[in-house]
Protein backbone atom coordinates (compact mmCIF):
# COMPACT_ATOMS: atom_id res chain seq x y z
CA UNK A 1 0.00 0.00 0.00
CA UNK A 2 1.10 3.60 -0.58
CA UNK A 3 0.39 6.29 2.02
CA UNK A 4 0.45 9.95 0.91
CA UNK A 5 2.16 11.52 3.82
CA UNK A 6 3.62 14.61 5.53
CA UNK A 7 5.24 14.16 8.95
CA UNK A 8 3.71 17.33 10.49
CA UNK A 9 0.09 16.34 9.71
CA UNK A 10 -1.80 15.17 12.80
CA UNK A 11 -4.19 13.21 10.55
CA UNK A 12 -1.33 11.36 8.88
CA UNK A 13 0.20 10.74 12.31
CA UNK A 14 -2.95 8.88 13.43
CA UNK A 15 -2.38 6.45 10.58
CA UNK A 16 1.36 5.99 11.14
CA UNK A 17 0.87 5.51 14.90
CA UNK A 18 -1.72 2.80 14.15
CA UNK A 19 0.75 1.13 11.77
CA UNK A 20 3.50 1.22 14.43
CA UNK A 21 1.14 -0.10 17.12
CA UNK A 22 0.23 -2.98 14.77
CA UNK A 23 3.90 -3.63 13.86
CA UNK A 24 2.97 -3.09 10.20
CA UNK A 25 5.00 -0.10 8.97
CA UNK A 26 6.55 -2.42 6.38
CA UNK A 27 3.10 -2.82 4.76
CA UNK A 28 3.15 0.76 3.40
CA UNK A 29 5.42 2.90 1.25
CA UNK A 30 5.37 6.55 2.32
CA UNK A 31 4.84 9.02 -0.55
CA UNK A 32 5.67 12.62 0.44
CA UNK A 33 2.92 15.15 -0.39
CA UNK A 34 2.58 18.86 0.33
CA UNK A 35 -0.02 21.51 -0.47
CA UNK A 36 -2.50 23.97 0.96
CA UNK A 37 -5.98 25.25 0.10
CA UNK A 38 -4.26 28.01 -1.93
CA UNK A 39 -1.98 25.65 -3.83
CA UNK A 40 -2.55 21.88 -3.96
CA UNK A 41 1.14 21.43 -4.85
CA UNK A 42 1.94 17.70 -4.78
CA UNK A 43 -1.25 16.65 -3.01
CA UNK A 44 -2.74 13.51 -4.67
CA UNK A 45 -5.73 15.35 -6.19
CA UNK A 46 -6.24 12.53 -8.70
CA UNK A 47 -6.64 10.12 -5.73
CA UNK A 48 -8.48 12.45 -3.35
CA UNK A 49 -10.30 15.31 -5.10
CA UNK A 50 -10.36 17.21 -1.80
CA UNK A 51 -6.57 17.53 -2.13
CA UNK A 52 -5.97 16.36 1.43
CA UNK A 53 -3.77 13.81 3.15
CA UNK A 54 -3.68 11.13 4.42
CA UNK A 55 -4.73 9.10 1.38
CA UNK A 56 -4.06 5.37 1.17
CA UNK A 57 -3.64 3.63 -2.17
CA UNK A 58 -4.61 -0.02 -1.77
CA UNK A 59 -3.46 -3.07 -3.68
CA UNK A 60 -7.00 -4.25 -4.40
CA UNK A 61 -9.41 -1.36 -4.33
CA UNK A 62 -9.89 2.36 -4.77
CA UNK A 63 -7.79 4.82 -2.75
CA UNK A 64 -9.13 5.51 0.71
CA UNK A 65 -9.07 8.97 2.23
CA UNK A 66 -9.95 10.70 5.47
CA UNK A 67 -7.97 9.47 8.47
CA UNK A 68 -11.05 7.98 10.15
CA UNK A 69 -11.82 5.83 7.11
CA UNK A 70 -8.18 4.78 6.68
CA UNK A 71 -7.78 3.94 10.38
CA UNK A 72 -10.93 1.79 10.41
CA UNK A 73 -9.74 0.00 7.26
CA UNK A 74 -6.22 -0.65 8.61
CA UNK A 75 -7.51 -1.68 12.03
CA UNK A 76 -9.78 -4.22 10.35
CA UNK A 77 -7.16 -5.42 7.84
CA UNK A 78 -4.36 -5.75 10.40
CA UNK A 79 -6.63 -6.87 13.27
CA UNK A 80 -4.97 -4.15 15.36
CA UNK A 81 -7.74 -4.08 18.01
CA UNK A 82 -7.74 -0.26 18.33
CA UNK A 83 -11.54 -0.01 17.98
CA UNK A 84 -13.32 -1.95 20.74
CA UNK A 85 -16.66 -3.68 20.23
CA UNK A 86 -19.88 -1.75 20.88
CA UNK A 87 -20.93 -0.26 23.25
CA UNK A 88 -17.36 0.91 24.10
CA UNK A 89 -16.90 1.64 20.40
CA UNK A 90 -19.16 4.71 20.63
CA UNK A 91 -16.91 6.29 23.29
CA UNK A 92 -13.82 5.61 21.19
CA UNK A 93 -15.41 7.13 18.07
CA UNK A 94 -16.60 10.23 19.93
CA UNK A 95 -13.14 10.76 21.42
CA UNK A 96 -11.58 10.30 17.96
CA UNK A 97 -14.01 12.86 16.47
CA UNK A 98 -13.33 15.24 19.38
CA UNK A 99 -9.57 14.98 18.89
CA UNK A 100 -9.89 15.37 15.10
CA UNK A 101 -11.94 18.54 15.73
CA UNK A 102 -9.00 19.95 17.72
CA UNK A 103 -6.65 19.07 14.86
CA UNK A 104 -9.02 20.60 12.26
CA UNK A 105 -9.16 23.92 14.13
CA UNK A 106 -5.40 23.91 14.78
CA UNK A 107 -4.58 23.22 11.11
CA UNK A 108 -7.00 25.97 9.96
CA UNK A 109 -5.27 28.40 12.36
CA UNK A 110 -1.91 27.46 10.86
CA UNK A 111 -3.24 28.16 7.32
CA UNK A 112 -4.73 31.46 8.46
CA UNK A 113 -1.44 32.60 10.00
CA UNK A 114 1.00 31.23 7.42
CA UNK A 115 -0.85 30.68 4.13
CA UNK A 116 -3.54 33.37 3.85
CA UNK A 117 -2.14 36.73 2.74
CA UNK A 118 -1.52 39.05 5.73
CA UNK A 119 -4.02 41.68 4.60
CA UNK A 120 -6.95 39.24 4.65
CA UNK A 121 -6.11 37.47 7.96
CA UNK A 122 -8.78 37.74 10.65
CA UNK A 123 -7.78 37.88 14.34
CA UNK A 124 -11.45 37.26 15.28
CA UNK A 125 -11.61 34.11 13.17
CA UNK A 126 -8.32 32.89 14.71
CA UNK A 127 -9.70 33.57 18.20
CA UNK A 128 -12.86 31.65 17.29
CA UNK A 129 -10.86 28.61 16.18
CA UNK A 130 -8.75 28.74 19.35
CA UNK A 131 -11.87 28.96 21.52
CA UNK A 132 -13.09 25.67 19.97
CA UNK A 133 -9.78 24.06 20.97
CA UNK A 134 -9.77 25.67 24.41
CA UNK A 135 -13.34 24.53 25.20
CA UNK A 136 -12.66 21.04 23.91
CA UNK A 137 -9.46 20.57 25.95
CA UNK A 138 -11.39 21.64 29.05
CA UNK A 139 -14.09 19.08 28.22
CA UNK A 140 -11.45 16.36 27.78
CA UNK A 141 -9.88 17.26 31.16
CA UNK A 142 -13.38 17.21 32.71
CA UNK A 143 -14.86 14.01 31.32
CA UNK A 144 -12.42 11.83 29.39
CA UNK A 145 -9.65 11.10 31.89
CA UNK A 146 -11.03 7.69 32.93
CA UNK A 147 -11.24 6.66 29.24
CA UNK A 148 -7.66 7.86 28.74
CA UNK A 149 -6.45 5.59 31.54
CA UNK A 150 -8.05 2.54 29.83
CA UNK A 151 -6.57 0.35 27.08
CA UNK A 152 -5.00 2.18 24.15
CA UNK A 153 -7.48 2.86 21.35
CA UNK A 154 -7.91 5.12 18.31
CA UNK A 155 -9.53 7.83 20.46
CA UNK A 156 -6.36 8.10 22.54
CA UNK A 157 -4.14 7.97 19.45
CA UNK A 158 -6.12 10.76 17.74
CA UNK A 159 -5.87 12.85 20.91
CA UNK A 160 -2.11 12.24 21.04
CA UNK A 161 -1.81 13.35 17.41
CA UNK A 162 -3.82 16.52 18.16
CA UNK A 163 -1.81 17.43 21.28
CA UNK A 164 1.44 16.75 19.43
CA UNK A 165 0.31 19.17 16.72
CA UNK A 166 -0.53 21.85 19.31
CA UNK A 167 3.00 21.43 20.71
CA UNK A 168 4.45 21.70 17.20
CA UNK A 169 2.47 24.70 15.88
CA UNK A 170 0.78 26.48 18.79
CA UNK A 171 3.12 25.94 21.75
CA UNK A 172 2.96 29.63 22.77
CA UNK A 173 -0.68 29.12 23.84
CA UNK A 174 0.31 26.87 26.78
CA UNK A 175 -2.79 24.65 26.95
CA UNK A 176 -1.19 22.69 29.83
CA UNK A 177 -1.45 25.56 32.33
CA UNK A 178 -5.09 24.84 33.22
CA UNK A 179 -5.20 21.08 32.38
CA UNK A 180 -2.69 19.38 34.70
CA UNK A 181 -4.26 15.92 34.45
CA UNK A 182 -4.40 15.89 30.65
CA UNK A 183 -0.84 17.28 30.58
CA UNK A 184 0.32 14.36 32.76
CA UNK A 185 -1.46 11.84 30.54
CA UNK A 186 0.14 13.35 27.42
CA UNK A 187 3.56 13.33 29.15
CA UNK A 188 3.26 9.55 29.53
CA UNK A 189 1.45 8.76 26.26
CA UNK A 190 3.94 10.74 24.18
CA UNK A 191 6.65 8.30 25.30
CA UNK A 192 5.01 5.29 23.67
CA UNK A 193 7.36 3.88 21.01
CA UNK A 194 4.71 4.53 18.31
CA UNK A 195 4.48 8.20 19.32
CA UNK A 196 8.26 8.63 19.53
CA UNK A 197 8.71 6.99 16.11
CA UNK A 198 6.23 9.43 14.52
CA UNK A 199 7.35 12.62 16.31
CA UNK A 200 6.91 15.46 13.78
CA UNK A 201 9.97 17.46 14.91
Ligand X SMILES: N[C@@H](CCC(=O)N[C@@H](CS)C(=O)NCC(=O)O)C(=O)O
Per-residue 3-state assignment (H helix, E strand, C coil) for 93-105? HHHHHHHHHHHHH
Please tell me the distance from the alpha carbon of residue 112 to that of residue 182, in angstroms, as a whole number.
27
In the bound state with ligand X, the residue whose beta carbon lies nearer, of 145 and 170, is 170
- Among 32, 37, 128, 187, which residue interacts with ligand X (rule: CB under 6 A)? 37
Tell me the site size for ligand X, rule CB under 6 A.
Answer: 14
Which of 201, 171, 176 is CA-nearest to residue 186? 176
Please tell me the distance from the alpha carbon of residue 57 to that of residue 140, in angstroms, as a whole number.
33
Asked if the bond preceding 54 is cis, omega within 30° of 0, the reply is: yes
Partner residues linked to 18 by β-bridges: none
Q: Does 52 bind ligand X (CB under 6 A)?
A: yes
Please tell me the distance from the alpha carbon of residue 14 to that of residue 169, in angstroms, as a whole number.
17
Q: Does 57 bind ligand X (CB under 6 A)?
A: no
DSSP single-letter state for residue 150: S
In the bound state with ligand X, the residue whose beta carbon lies nearer, of 129 and 179, is 129
- Among 19, 22, 53, 64, which residue interacts with ligand X (rule: CB under 6 A)? 53
Please list every residue from 138 through 177 that binds ligand X, using CB under 6 A. none
Q: Does 32 bind ligand X (CB under 6 A)?
A: no
In the bound state with ligand X, the residue whose beta carbon lies nearer, of 99 and 137, is 99
CB 69 within 8 A of CB 28: no
In the bound state with ligand X, the residue whose beta carbon lies nearer, of 96 and 141, is 96
- Among 22, 99, 106, 107, which residue interacts with ligand X (rule: CB under 6 A)? 107
In the bound state with ligand X, the residue whose beta carbon lies nearer, of 106 and 140, is 106
- Among 1, 21, 44, 51, which residue interacts with ligand X (rule: CB under 6 A)? 51
- Among 1, 3, 5, 11, which residue interacts with ligand X (rule: CB under 6 A)? 11
- Which residues fall within 8 angstroms of residue 179, CB to CB, at 6 or more apart? 137, 138, 140, 141
Please tell me the distance from the alpha carbon of residue 23 to that of residue 162, in angstroms, as a whole number.
22
Which region, judged by CB under 6 A, interacts with ligand X, from 51-59, 80-88, 122-130, 191-199? 51-59
Which residues here bind ligand X, judged by CB under 6 A? 9, 11, 35-37, 51-54, 66-68, 100, 107
Amino acid sequence: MRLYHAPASPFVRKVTVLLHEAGAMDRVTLIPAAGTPLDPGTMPVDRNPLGKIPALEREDGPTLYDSRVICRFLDDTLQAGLYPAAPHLWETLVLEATADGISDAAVLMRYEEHVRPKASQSPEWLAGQWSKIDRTLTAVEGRWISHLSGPVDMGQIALGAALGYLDLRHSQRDWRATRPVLARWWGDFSKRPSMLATHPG
